[in-house]
Amino acid sequence: MTFKELGIADPVLKALQAEGYEKPTPIQVQAIPILLKGQDLLGVAQTGTGKTAAFGVPILHHLYTSKNGQQGKRRVKALIVTPTRELAIQISESFTAYGKFTGLRNTVIYGGVKQGKQEQALRNGIDILVATPGRLLDLMNQGFISFRDLEYVVLDEADQMLDMGFIHDIKRIIAKLPPKRQSLFFSATMPKDIVALSRKMLGDFEQVTIQPEQATAEKVEQGVYFVSKGNKPKLLVLLLQERPTDSVLVFSRTKHGANKIVKKLSQADIRSAAIHGNKSQTARQKALGDFKDGKLKVLVATDIAARGIDVEELSLVINYDLPNVSETYVHRIGRTGRASASGIAMSFCDKEEQPYLRDIEKLIKQEVPRIPAHQFVEEEEEVDAKTEQRPQRTRNSNRNSNRNRHGRSNSSGTQINNRNRNKNRNRNRNK
């Protein structure tokens, strides 16, 4: 199957060829024909499967073929709503690339910056609007955005919207949409709240599902280092020193952790930058831009901030902290296995994170290869001991609660032993 065989308009096809797109990915093969027929779509797929083109190409095709020499001010005919600024910018750039020979115009709006330039772009007229929920509602309420001519609506990364607390904003946006429209709903996972939300947005729809294990595990080379928490910085420095010319994306579970990693790398004379929610939009965009341009070789990111990172030839993803949600692991390693490309993803796992590793392996239906020989390895018996101690930890906690019931405030065996020693000393004195 080729893009030409899908029946896409020539200007869009020409742009895809210019971008180096040869064969459509599985989600594109399944979704594009459905959307070209004008049907609603529920897509269950994570970032890295090529879903931006899966919805972007049909929208551009429809808008281009229905122009018919329309005159007058451009009006918003397609809306794409997505959770983060980075992802919104990335989608807008993709629409610009895919639509460069169509004459269609798009813009992107998001919070964290002054809205003057965004207002001006809307006044000048656009065909396609990419937006984050908060700024979209603000500009709607101020009268800058009308949905009167809207024909296509995409809700992207719906599960991430839920995680970020945007669910009520999304419901308010859906309530304002015109009833006659084509709706596209994309989510990596489908918890109950997301299923209910999709039912509110979609009419008669078809569903396309790309399983996480299909999308990543088979084409990304994976490995895990068992390493203590205290030795993680040293191991990271060692790996980065071994690959000084590679582009490396490092994932931290927290914003504070991301900042600490950058500080540790700086102490080892390794230049890096962090992107997360506490960074200004300017700082985030500069770090991301430098990383994409190759000026910065190491980028440290939290999961939410990493949505929208699309870097060609990303050499390596490192999970400095294993995620406690298995699907997040799939999102992360998919950064280095984009579309049909392969990649490498390495993870650090300390004792407390081993349950997360087992959950991940259940999801991807394979064991992540262990890397036994490295400078900071934790002994294998320590790993096994952790697993064996889990039931015993429960028994200890029961003993502690029994002590508390009997008026003993301490839960330390050391303190009890000290008391026994003191009693023995007193007995010895009395003898």
Q: Are residues 221 and 296 in the same domain?
A: yes
CATH code at position 276: 3.40.50.300
Q: Which pLDDT band, with edges at 50, 70 and 90, does 326 fall under? A: confident
Find where tokens 């096809």 sit: 13
222 and 145 within one domain: no
Q: How far, in Å, CA of 325 to CA of 356, rounded?
A: 8
Residues 65 and 147 in one domain: yes
The answer to whether 173 and 133 have CB atoms below 8 angstroms apart is yes
Starting at the earlier edge strand, list the strands of the sheet with 220-226. 220-226, 343-349, 316-319, 248-251, 298-301, 273-275
CA-based max dimension of the chain: 111
Query: How far is Cα 216 from Cα 366, in angstroms, rounded to an integer?
Result: 11
pLDDT score of 381 more than 90: no
On whether both 369 and 324 belong to a single domain, the answer is yes
Q: Is 415 a member of any domain?
A: no
For residue 400, being part of any structural domain is answered with: no
pLDDT of residue 306: 65
Task: Give the domain extent around 89.
Answer: 4-210
Question: Do both 276 and 204 map to the same domain?
Answer: no
Q: Which residue has the higher pLDDT, 212 or 267?
A: 267
Task: Give the mean model confidence (pLDDT) for residues 318-336.
Answer: 84
Q: Tens of pLDDT along 332-380?
A: 887 775 545 567 899 999 999 999 999 888 888 888 999 877 667 665 4
Q: What is the pLDDT of residue 216?
A: 58
Is the per-residue pLDDT at 402 higher than 60?
no
Could you give the angle at the alpha carbon of 66 between the alpha carbons of 207 and 118, nearest 5°?
80
Residue 348 lies in a domain: yes
- Is 310 in the same domain as 338? yes
**27 and 121 inside one domain:** yes
Last residue within a domain, chosen from 182, 210, 238: 210
Q: Is the pLDDT of residue 397 over 60?
A: no
Instruction: Give Cα separations from 101 to 18, 73, 104, 353 (angstroms).
Output: 11, 19, 8, 49
- For residue 423, being part of any structural domain is answered with no
Residues 6+ apart with CB under 8 A from 172: 137
**Measured CA distances, 287 to 47, 250, 290, 298 (Å):** 20, 13, 5, 10
pLDDT at 409 exceeding the cut of 60: no
Quote the CA–CA distance of 299 and 288 in Å, as a whole number.
8
Q: Other C-beta atoms within 10 Å of 251: how many?
A: 29
**Is residue 416 included in any domain, yes or no?**
no
Instruction: Please tell me whether residues 301 and 373 are part of one structural domain.
Output: yes
Answer whether residue 424 shows pLDDT above 50.
no
Residue 67 in any domain: the answer is: yes
Q: Which of 336, 364, 381 is the last residue of a domain?
A: 381
Q: Are residues 287 and 179 in the same domain?
A: no
Is the model more confident about 381 or about 193? 193
Question: Does 189 share its domain with 295?
Answer: no
Pick the more confident residue, 213 or 261.
Answer: 261
In a domain? residue 22: yes
Spatial separation of the C-alpha atoms in residues 139 and 111, rounded to whole Å: 11
If one counts the domains in the chain, the total is: 2
Pinpoint the alpha helices (H) of 66-115.
85-98
- Does 314 lie in the same domain as 237? yes
pLDDT digits (tens, 9 = 90+) for 83-95: 888 889 989 999 9
Give 192-207 pLDDT, tens digit per residue.
888 888 888 998 899 9
Domain end (from 210, 244, 271): 210
Give the confidence band of 44 by pLDDT, cuts at 50, 70, 90.
Answer: confident
Q: What average pLDDT does the chain have?
A: 81
Q: Does residue 4 carry a pLDDT above 80?
A: yes
Is 394 part of any domain? no
> What phi and psi values does residue 336 have, to the nearest 5 degrees?
-105, 5
pTM beyond 0.95, yes or no: no
Shared domain for 229 and 145, answered yes or no, is no
Among the listed residues 171, 241, 233, 234, the one whose alpha carbon sits nearest the alpha carbon of residue 199: 171
